[in-house]
Structure 1
Amino acid sequence: MYSIIDIETTGNGIKGNKITEISIFNFDGREIVDEFTSLVNPECEIPYFITGLTGIDDTMVRDAPKWKEIAHLVLEMTQDTIFVAHSVNFDYNVIKNEFSNIGITYSRKKLCTVRLSRKLIPGFNSYSLGKLCSALNIPLTDRHRARGDAHATVLLFKKLIAIEGAASVFKTFLNARSQEGTLPPDLPKEAFEKLPNAAGVYYFKDQKGSIIYVGKAIDIKKRVLGHFYNKSNKEVRLCKATHDIDYELSGSELVALLMESEAIKKHYPQFNSSQKRISKEVAVFSYEDRNGILHLAYNNLKHVSNPIATFSTIADCRSFLEEICQGHELCPKFCHLQENAESCSHYSIRNCRGICRGKEAIVTYNDRVKSAIKAEKEKNKNIIIPEKGRTPNERAFVLLAEGQYKGYGFIEKTEPIQGLDDLENFLERKRENVDTKRIINWYLRKFPHRSIPLSHPTTP
């Protein structure tokens, strides 16, 4: 037995979405054996754009039953049946959430008529309910009302179930291991199956082949599957718009992060929010006060002419100052880790030699500040970061020269490398930006011993 269902909602994603109308047809594979249709009081206002789409307004649902008043009927009608809908994950998850809100766990096997149609009647440009009904001469009345759409889905389902070979397709789709019920409605299973369990970047594409989301992962296939299980509003909209997924291998997380950053800035995908915003970089600089004491401080990069180091957040900047202060026995007060204090009393940095209390000569303290600045500017100036390659016979590298990110590359392990000139042949040159600096600084702080210093800079 199948319960073929359609709902109308307030349109607020999954968790905030409330049902305004529901229609259920119980279908035994040959004919309709039961029906239930009802408006539902969502106990909240219906947005104007939803009323414009469905015709359902606050007045129509004011005296309609609330979900808790019809929940038992929905439970009874769908008991021991297979939940069927066009783009089933949307209807199923909204109904499941409505049950959850009243303390009931709802679980049913499910089938999606979009995915079934793609498999059993391939070749259409669109598998929307309206386009399919038009192409297959299925009558569709009261579009965007629950009963009209549900009844049209019944007629579509009846055609699908009669197609030769449909029984084995249905059996495969209902297999819990098939993941057919989890995949986005317009994503061919083959597009998901080709994804590797390896590090790299992946690209969600829409119907036109445009990239709408870029992500990175240590395990691409596992991470992509995570998008399908995520029921946040953004993820639901992303999955609904996804028609294909492509990928590039990176070999390692670091290279994947750099590839992802570049791809986001190149394609400006609709569903990526991070790294599209213009970041305000923070810079560390030095200055001498009226007493001749050298300070280390930070400000917005645009106000700093000769930065010692730059960061994407104030938190990262302060962490850097704490490290340099601790490592060179500098004063937290004169590193601007403490403000409006006569002398330093930092909770963790306690090795100040007393410059803030007049117990250390200014020239001696300033020499240590200058030494710290020099060491920082020389650190990571010319380095290579070795990484895992995309295959067992390959290695990857990330190159920094003159303190700037120059790009990454891949080399066969058998390839002899004598110096920077050899690396140039394999280097994929990239532009440095605030995000690549943030990524590399994070990596070097997390793994300070993985980089290899180079004696000579590469050619710019």
Structure 2
Amino acid sequence: MYAILDIETTGGKYNEEGITEIAIYKFDGHEVVDQFISLVNPERPIQPFVANLTGINNQMLRNAPKFYEVAKRIVEITSECVVVAHNASFDYRILRTEFSRLGFEYERQSLCTVELSKKLIPYQESYSLGKLVRGLGIPLSDRHRANGDALATVKLFKLLLTKDSNKSIITEAVRIDTKKQIDDKLLKLVEQAPIATGIYYMHREDGTIIYIGKSKNIKKRLNQHFTNDNRKSRRIQQEVESVSFEITGSELVALLKESEEIKRNKPKYNRALRKTKFDQALYQFTDDNGFINLKIAKVDHRKTVITTFSNRQQAKSFIHRWTEEYNLCQKFTGIDTGKNNCFNYTIKQCFGACISEETPQEYNVRVQQLIQNNSFDSQDMIIIDRGRNIDEQSVILIEKGQFKGIGFFNLNHQINNIEILRSIITPMEHNRDVQHIIQSYTRKNKKLKVVPISKS
């Protein structure tokens, strides 16, 4: 659990500043679950340049609560939380100073989004909150006011969690928050899980990830893990101490993240799942008469494939479907091996390529359309799918036929500008597995939005 906050102060000498405004958002890693926003009477004058910067003046604070009146609420909302702030050393120091004046020792673990941003989003022009979020396309209103800056930090931190491929943020938080073993441990873990699409990480007590999974209903899937009686499930049940999860909204994003996370982290109980299994592929060749033929065969990584399939039955099912959809000749798709015209010609679904009633040029246009629609070789495009909430969408970036990574956006200008798009994308590795996942998912989900991108 995180307490993401921002504090405005009077300015002045070091450790003599007073708080003028505070905003705290309690964030469970997925959504805000509580919040506290208040002006504070600092009982000392505000420096003129600070008043000009924030718009908060002495008159506004005359009737505001003093710090001791809001201290209890601050303790409550940050209890058992990691304090997160942009330049956390400043905000945390101010809080500790104010509590110290009340004779209270305030201690929390803290994370700084400046430091995290430098690590996870390198090469930015500036890491000041305003310039950083503007460069990432994150909306920011009420700059230099606690609520506006805290809300922007929430959105920035959410992006950082997504970009944290090594899961160092989550692992550190798990290590901090690990509690002693309790009765009904597994039941409590299930109760805390969301009914949502995403990936989940099972941790040992020291934070080590022992299993990674993906599900359209994380709560239901965990329940299956913890009620199964097979040997692997029983071992997991004994070792797991906590479960963290990442909601993706999109099943495709979950599949891609699961594949990469398993390869990256090599969890103890994912050994059999580190490689996606597909052994059939669709190939093309041009015959002596100039017609493009399609052929299903075992995957050969030395050859260029159009797309891949999990098994031969799936491949045959799709080649039959595409033959009808694109009015192709069954002889040139390997379905009909007879000597005369194909069966589809007799029912007017083939235009006679098999008996030279259609030219190779006319026929090949439709074959090329099929290939274009089912292979992203050399293409620049984005795939848009569901986001983690109703106001958000996910985006998958493909450049020159190479999968570049995933991201989430709220505003269209974030994906219409290629530089901002690259900034919000979490880079991921392109390999045959992810190519198979994307192609397989897009051909099964025809309503998915696939948009070519122009870099001009």
Could you say which residue in structure 2 is the equivalent of 1:439? 437
Tell me the secondary structure at the aligned position of residue 334 of structure 1.
helix
1:393 and 1:413 in contact (8 A); partners too: no
CA contact (8 A) 2:308 2:439 kept: no
Q: Could you say which residue in structure 2 is the equivalent of 1:450?
A: 448
Q: CA deviation at 1:331?
A: 1.1
CA 1:347–1:430 in structure 2 vs 1: closer, same or farther (change >3 Å)?
farther
What is the alpha-carbon distance in structure 2 between the residues aligned to residue 252 and residue 363 of structure 1?
A: 40
Give 1:335's aligned residue.
Answer: 333
How far did 1:376 drift?
A: 5.1
Instruction: State whether residues 403 and 430 of structure 2, in contact with CA within 8 Å, keep that contact through their aligned partners in structure 1.
Output: yes
Superimposed CA distance per residue, residues 185-244 of structure 1 (whole angstroms, 9 cap, x where no aligned partner) = xxxx65444433333211123355432221112332232122222233432333233233
> What's the offset of the Cα at 1:250?
1.8
> Cα distance 1:294–1:191, how it changes in 2: closer, same or farther (>3 A)?
closer
Shift of 1:430: 0.8
> What is residue 422 of structure 1 aligned with on the other side?
420
- Which residue, 315, 318, 321 being the options, matches 2:319? 321
Match of 2:394 among 393, 396, 403: 396
Cα drift, residue 423 of structure 1: 1.0
Deviations 1:236-286 (A, max 9, x none): 333233233222222332222221111111122233355424645543332
Unaligned runs of 5+ residues in structure 1 are 1-121, 128-168, 174-179
1:199 to 197, 200, 205: 197
Q: Which residue type is aligned with residue 421 of structure 1?
A: E
- Equivalent runs, 1:148-167 vs 2, <5 Å: none
> What's the CA shift for 1:420?
1.8
* 1:126-178 CA-partner distances (Å, limit 9, x unpaired): x9xxxxxxxxxxxxxxxxxxxxxxxxxxxxxxxxxxxxxxxxx9xxx7xxxxx
For residues 450 and 346 of structure 2, what CA distance do their matches in structure 1 show? 31
Distance 1:402 1:363, change over 3 A: closer
Given that residues 325 and 331 in structure 1 are in contact (C-alpha distance below 8 angstroms), is that contact kept between their aligned partners in structure 2?
yes
CA drift of 1:408 comes to: 0.8
Q: Kindly tell me: are residues 229 and 350 of structure 1, through their superposed partners in 2, closer, same or farther at Cα, counting changes over 3 Å?
A: farther
8 Å Cα contact 1:322/1:349 also seen in 2: no
Distance 1:377 1:224 in 2: 35
Secondary structure in 1 matching 2:300: helix
1:241 to 231, 239, 242: 239
3-state DSSP of counterpart to 1:214: strand
The 5 Å alignment of 1:76-115 reads: none
Residue of structure 1 in register with 2:249 after alignment:
251
TM-score w.r.t. the length of structure 1 is 0.51
SS in structure 2 opposite 1:432?
coil
- Aligned to 2:398, what secondary structure does the other structure show? strand
**1:282–1:299 Cα contact (<8 Å) kept:** yes
Q: Does the Cα contact within 8 Å between 1:343 and 1:356 map onto a contact in 2?
A: yes
Is 2:202–2:209's contact at 8 Å kept on the other side of the alignment? yes
Aligned residues: 279
Q: CA deviation at 1:426?
A: 0.4
Query: Structure 2: which 5+ residue stretches go unaligned?
Result: 1-177
Describe the SS at the equivalent of 1:396.
Answer: strand
2:349 maps to a residue whose letter is N
Conserved 8 A contact 2:374-2:439: no
* Distance (whole Å) between structure 1 residues aligned to residue 201 and residue 345 of structure 2: 46
Q: Provide closer, same or farther for how the CA distance between residues 330 and 414 of structure 1 changes in structure 2, counting only shifts above 3 A.
A: closer
Amino acid at match of 1:424: R
Runs of 4+ in 1 over 6 A off after TM superposition: 346-350
Q: Deviation per CA, 1:77-98: give whole Å up to 9, x if none.
A: xxxxxxxxxxxxxxxxxxxxxx
Contact 1:326 1:349 in 2 (8 A): no
In structure 1, distance between residues paired with 2:219 and 2:370: 45
Q: Name the CA distance, whole Å, in 1 between partners of 2:231 and 2:348.
A: 48
Q: 2:300 aligns with which of 267, 277, 302?
A: 302
1:266 aligns with 2:267: no
* Partner SS state of residue 271, structure 1: helix
3-state DSSP of counterpart to 2:332: coil
Q: Which residue of 2 aligns with 1:210?
A: 208
Q: Distance in 2 between matches of 1:191 and 1:375?
A: 43
CA distance in 2, matches of 1:227, 1:347: 52
Partner of residue 223, structure 1: 221
CA distance in 2, matches of 1:413, 1:393: 9
**Residues 390 and 365 (structure 1 numbering): CA distance in 2 closer, same or farther, change over 3 Å?**
closer
Q: 2: distance between equivalents of 1:262 and 1:327?
A: 34
C-alpha distance in structure 2 between counterparts of 1:300 and 1:330, whole Å: 22
Whole-Å separation in 2 of the counterparts to 1:396 and 1:348: 46
Paired with 1:445 and 1:360, the residues of 2 have a C-alpha distance of: 28
CA contact (8 A) 2:345 2:351 kept: no
Measured at CA, do residues 362 and 393 of structure 1 come closer, stay the same or move farther in structure 2, by a change above 3 Å? Answer: closer
Check whether the contact 1:312–1:435 (CA below 8 A) recurs between aligned residues: no
How far did 1:324 drift?
Answer: 3.4
User: Equivalent residue of 2:270, what SS?
Assistant: coil
Task: State which structure, 1 or 2, has the greater radius of gyration over its C-alpha atoms.
Answer: 1
Find the aligned partners of 1:428 and 1:237 in 2 and give their Cα distance.
33
Q: 1:166-181 alignment to 2 at 5 Å? A: 180=184
Report which of the two has the higher share of helix. Answer: 2
Kindly indicate whether the alpha-carbon contact (under 8 Å) linking 2:276 and 2:433 is maintained by their aligned counterparts in 1. no
CA distance in 2, matches of 1:425, 1:262: 20
Q: Alignment partner of 2:297: what SS?
A: strand
- Relative to structure 1, the CA distance from residue 302 to residue 346 in structure 2 (aligned partners, 3 Å threshold; closer, same or farther) is same
CA 1:452 to 1:372, structure 2 compared with 1: closer, same or farther past 3 Å?
Answer: closer
Aligned CA-pair RMSD: 3.8
